[in-house]
Structures are given as structure tokens and as C-alpha cells.
């Protein structure tokens, strides 16, 4: 099974503890500009790409079903 360097999909299950790293940044709504059709380069896109790192750093595994 190949693990993508970032999560590619729209639905997944996770344990809340797996995203403690991301929660620690304490983002606010104002940190996220309106989506205007961007395909990359926004804070939202960055966060999507660190899901796997956050999960692994928290001691959990990534699985695909």
C-alpha cells in the first residue's frame, strides 16, 4: 500500500488525539481567507498536507480501506 505524502480524499476517520499537533497552532477563523478557487498555496492547503505528519507524530498509523 502506498501512502501519499499528503492526504488525498474528502472523507476519513481519525482519533482527535491524532491532530493534537495541528490543534496546538490555535488557528482562528481570520487565519483562513475565503476560498477563491485556489488549488494550492493557502493555509488550508498546508494543513491538509500535514495531516499524515500530525497523525504519525502522535503515535498513530495511517491505514487505507
Q: Which pLDDT tens digit goes with each residue over 15-35?
A: 999 999 999 999 999 998 888
Q: Output the DSSP codes for 17-41.
A: GGGHHHHTT---GGGSPPP-S-SSS
**Mean pLDDT value of segment 22-51:** 88
How confident is the model at residue 19, as a pLDDT?
92
| Residue 2: pLDDT over 80 | no
Question: By the 8 A CB rule, do 52 and 6 touch?
Answer: yes
The pLDDT of residue 6 is above 70: no
* pLDDT on residue 34: 85
What is the distance between the terminal CA atoms of the chain, rounded to a whole angstrom? 10
Amino acid at each position: 500500500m502506498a501512502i501519499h505524502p499528503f492526504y488525498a480524499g474528502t472523507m476519513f476517520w481519525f482519533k482527535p488525539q491524532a491532530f493534537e499537533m495541528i490543534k496546538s497552532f490555535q488557528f482562528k477563523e481570520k487565519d483562513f481567507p475565503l476560498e477563491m478557487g485556489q488549488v494550492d498555496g493557502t493555509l488550508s492547503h498546508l494543513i491538509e498536507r500535514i495531516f499524515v505528519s500530525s497523525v504519525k507524530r502522535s503515535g498513530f498509523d495511517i491505514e487505507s480501506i
